[in-house]
A and B are shown apart, each in its own frame.
Chain A
Amino acid sequence: MNSSFDEMNAGEAVVREHYQVYNRWLAEQPGDVMRGRREEAEMIFRRVGITFAVYGTKDEDGSGTERLIPFDLIPRVIPAHEWKEMERGLHQRVLALNRFIHDVYHAQEIIKAGIVPAEQIFRNAQFRPEMMGVDVPGGVYAHIAGIDIVRAANADGSGSYYVLEDNLRVPSGVSYMLENRKMMMRLFPDLFSMHRVEPVAHYPDLLLDTLRAVAPAAVNEPTVVLLTPGMYNSAYFEHAFLAQQMGIELVEGQDLFVKDNFLYMRTTQGAKRVDVIYRRVDDDFLDPLAFRPDSTLGCAGLLSVYRAGNLTLANAIGTGVADDKSIYPYVPQMIEFYLGEKPILNNVPTYQCRKAEDLEYVLSHLAELVVKEVHGAGGYGMLVGPAAAKSEIADFRKQLRAHPEGYIAQPTLSLSTCPTFVESGIAPRHIDLRPFVMSGKTVQMVPGGLTRVALKEKSLVVNSSQGGGTKDTWVLEG
């Protein structure tokens, strides 16, 4: 395994160019100033209530489950030329993914062309037969995509970006991107006068623009709402925050009802029609008549309104068929197939355990690979070979033999590191990046995204449910 690529330090006492101003500034800051700022940040996050819920645990004082996501004061800086390239790649990738989903639910050209095997789609739990032949406005399915990107070191010491995962269902985290920037500007205004950092605060505006653009064609002034599972959901803060920033209603399933194949919400002035739902509820819970009958988070009859074209859901139902880990290996081919272009962003080389020769290789190299459940998310259900105990590897070997189709494996990428404040001072910690890509009339994004950081030493798991934190992400103007 190569040693990691560090975003700031190119080597002993060599600071990369885009970090030099920051580094000089940091060297001048007394330690207690940074400590004080850190406490201030924590206090503000608490007061603002930027918390997430951890299911099944209690607060320090035993009264609840609201936690802060640790916020690190050292920004992750991306130089302009790198972002420009990444942006082109994201644009291309999301365009192809949307074309793919449309194709899956219509003519299925990509199967006919022999690129993606039919069983990979039809036996996928995320494939929704209800969506076959349904047309959605603009042919857009994944209106909001969170594409997870990491940087890994090459043999020559340079680094390359790889897409690790496409999140096309209900990707979250964008509120932290926005709040982190607000916090940094509040704590360190002088840094922003020393750097030309691309702003991100217009994200809610672009999002609203995207949602309005995909309203049913017959509607002139669409009513857009955000559907949340409720205040005990782990991402409730984000739902409330985005609804407020866009000035739209934050609705729960109980606020909605269907009448004459239209969707309405209950208001103090009677029923009001809803045209577009930015939903933060999974497919399975959207309509108890069509999916899980025990769900109270959705609204009975919603699917039929949707299929009749009287409602737009963002993201559409059935996008999960394209962000599954078993579909991931085909994305570069999708780009060539639908767009006739060479993929700009790299995929991580992936072994599909359902293929006999790949499984053979994986089983004999478990100690160096990362093995992931095809349907897993949130950092659960994975094996990090180099960090795993012998017994864990043995367990996974058994599972792999029993259900090879349920797993993929990838070489252990050493995610790049970024200097981070930890107990002992400043130390490198592994990071990733999740840009948020919006597709409506056009594909849009704000520069950067959410940088997540694994706070535990050597840990590669950046998920907030597993001790990850976040950083502000700066794209410098070119």
Chain B
Amino acid sequence: MLSRTADHLYWMARYMERAENTARMLDVNYQTSLLPQSADAAEKGWKGLLSISELTSDFGERYGAIHARSVMDYMVRDEKNPASIYGCLLAARENARAVRGTLTTEVWETQNQTWLEFKRLLASGTFQKDPSEAFEWVKFRSHLSRGVTVGTMLQDEAFHFLRIGSFLERADNTARLLDVKFHAMDTEFANPMNANGNGKDQEYDFYHWSAILRSMSGFEVYRKAYRNVIRPEKVAELLILRPDMPRSLAACMNEVVSNLERVANEQSGETLRCAGRIRSDLQYGRIDEIVATGLHAFLTQFLERVGTLGAGISRDFLVPVQA
């Protein structure tokens, strides 16, 4: 397949996945902000959200002080913010349009319809009235887009590049979310028992961790997998190491590796090695070891390696080089 075509497919999938994860993060913040909490804590949440996407300074310059409403506007509908849901859905659709002939009719129409419908919903004010509803809608469209891909596309190279895009982006997004959320709780996490028996804090912890789980559709999964109360290191284990948890780093890397193997070419050996290395670290890693060396350090390194892997994929497959 054409390198340019593969590039468009890869980015179409990445942007769609990013739109979904942005909606997930916004939703969990919005839900948390409805809980009784100090203004300080609420601001911390929104700040964290901006820093996940490395947008703190751009937001500060254009919007000034951090308020729930302005951060949501910035992340949902701001046309100048390429990481907003608006920006992601537009980029996903434009990439799809560039290769619509490679997609099945159903995949293309789903992507196109998502964009048209999104613009209509924005114009009608639905998103402003009920943010949660809007985030649900974005998630739903992303599910649909992935589902129609799996349900209708021939499992050839096009399909594999779509899958690589989705899961590399998801790995990146999950790691960023974990990093920020665990960072916010750093002290408590270092010593989960320093709540001094204060029931208020414990209650707050529960809502904090369960919000993270919910943002990854992992709350019920956690209960099912551990049949236990919510404990931070178990949350970390579920979202980093469990290969059966579809949004965990391990699950994402499994998909990236197996799809990469299917498209390997003469020059992609090193890139495959990098991917396999990241995967085996997750496959054979233990959460207590990761926590002992520092979760933040682990996630930072993971993000760097995923970044390098993305660059390798671009170089080997997507950016046309003169033969």
Which residue numbers of A lie inside 8 Å of B, CB to CB?
46-49, 61, 63, 230-231, 240-241, 243-244, 249-252, 254-255, 257, 259, 264-271
Query: Which chain A residue has the least Cβ–Cβ distance from B122?
Result: A61
A-B contact pairs, 15 of them (CB 8 A): A46-B116, A47-B109, A48-B112, A49-B108, A49-B109, A231-B94, A244-B101, A250-B99, A252-B4, A254-B320, A255-B3, A255-B4, A265-B2, A269-B1, A270-B265
Contact of A249 among B5, B263, B317, B318 (CB under 8 A): B5
Q: Which residues of chain B have C-beta atoms less than 8 A from A241's C-beta? A: 101
Whether B109 pairs with A63 at a CB distance below 8 angstroms is: no
Are B322 and A257 touching (Cβ within 8 A)?
yes
B 1-30 to A, binary, CB cutoff 8 A, 1 in contact else 0: 111111000000000000000000000000
Residue B33 lies at the interface, judged by CB distance under 8 Å to chain A? no
- Option from B3, B102, B108 in Cβ contact (under 8 Å) with A266: B3
- Inter-chain contact B321/A266, CB cutoff 8 Å: yes
- Tell me whether B323 and A268 are in contact (CB under 8 A): no
Residue from B94, B99, B108, B317 in contact with A268 in the complex, judged by beta carbons closer than 8 Å: B317
Instruction: Name B75-123 residues within 8 Å CB distance of A.
Output: 94, 97-102, 105, 108-109, 112-113, 116, 119, 123
- In Å, the complex CA distance between A244 and B5 comes to 13
A268 touches B263 (CB 8 A): yes
Which DSSP category, helix, strand, loop or mixed, fits chain B's interface?
Answer: helix
Do residues B101 and A243 form an inter-chain contact, with CB atoms below 8 A? yes
Nearest chain A residue, comparing its CB with the CB of B265 = A269
Q: Does B266 touch A at the CB level, under 8 Å?
A: yes
Tell me which residues across on chain B come within 8 A of A265, comparing CB atoms: 2
B3, B102, B116, B266: the one within 8 Å of A47 (CB): B116
Interface string of B259-288 (1 = CB under 8 A from A): 000010110000000000000000000000
Q: Flag if A264 contacts B323 (CB, 8 Å).
A: yes
Q: In this complex, what residue of B is CB-closest to A230?
A: B98
Closest to B319 in A: A266
Give the nearest-CB partner of A270 in chain B. B323
Docked CA distance A250–B1 (Å): 10
Complex Cα–Cα for A177 and B128 (A): 42
The distance in angstroms between the C-alpha atoms of A48 and B113, with both chains bound, is 8
Footprint of A on B, CB under 8 Å?
1-6, 94, 97-102, 105, 108-109, 112-113, 116, 119, 123, 157, 161, 263, 265-266, 317-318, 320-323
Q: A257-B322, A266-B321, A269-B265 are in contact. Are A47 and B112 (CB under 8 A)?
A: yes
CB contacts (< 8 Å) of A230 on chain B: these are 98
- With A46-B116, A255-B3, A268-B317 as contacts: A250 and B263 at CB distance below 8 Å: no
Query: Which residues of chain B are near A46, meaning CB under 8 Å?
Result: 116
Contact (Cβ within 8 A) B323 A257: yes
**Which chain A residues lie closer than 8 Å to B98 at the CB level?**
230-231
User: Which A residues lie within 8 Å of B108 (CB)?
Assistant: 49
Report B-chain residues with C-beta under 8 Å of the C-beta of A49: 97, 100, 108-109, 112
Q: Chain B contacts of A231 at CB under 8 A? A: 94, 97-98
Separation of A415 and B59 alpha carbons in the complex (Å): 60
State which of A61, A240, A264, A269 has its C-beta within 8 Å of the C-beta of B100: A240
Question: Which B residue sits closest to A266, measured CB to CB?
Answer: B320
Question: Distance in Å from the Cβ of A181 to the closest Cβ of chain B?
Answer: 16
Alpha-carbon gap, A255 to B102, bound state (A): 15
Is B4 in contact with A266, judged by CB distance below 8 angstroms?
yes
Which of B1, B102, B157 makes the CB contact (< 8 A) with A244? Answer: B102
A47, A257, A268, A271: the one within 8 Å of B1 (CB)? A268
- CB atoms of A47 and B101 under 8 A apart: no
* Nearest CB in chain A to that of B97: its residue: A231
Which residue of chain A has the shortest Cβ distance to B7 in the bound complex? A268
Residue pair B112, A268 in contact (C-beta under 8 Å): no
Contacts of B266 in A (CB 8 A): 270
Give the shortest distance, in Å, between A349 (CB) and chain B (any CB).
Answer: 43
In the bound complex, how far is the Cα of B1 from the Cα of A268, in angstroms?
6
Q: B2 touches which one: A48, A255, A259 (CB < 8 A)?
A: A255
Q: Pick the contact of A250: B6, B101, B113 (CB < 8 A).
A: B101
Question: Which residues from B are CB-within-8-Å of A268?
Answer: 1-3, 6, 157, 161, 263, 265, 317-318
Complex: how many Å from CA A49 to CA B266?
37
Residues in A whose Cβ lies below 8 Å from that of B161: 268
CB B116 to nearest CB in A, in angstroms, measures 6
**Is A266 a contact partner of B113 (Cβ separation < 8 A)?**
no
Q: CB < 8 Å: which of A48, A250, A267 contacts B3?
A: A267
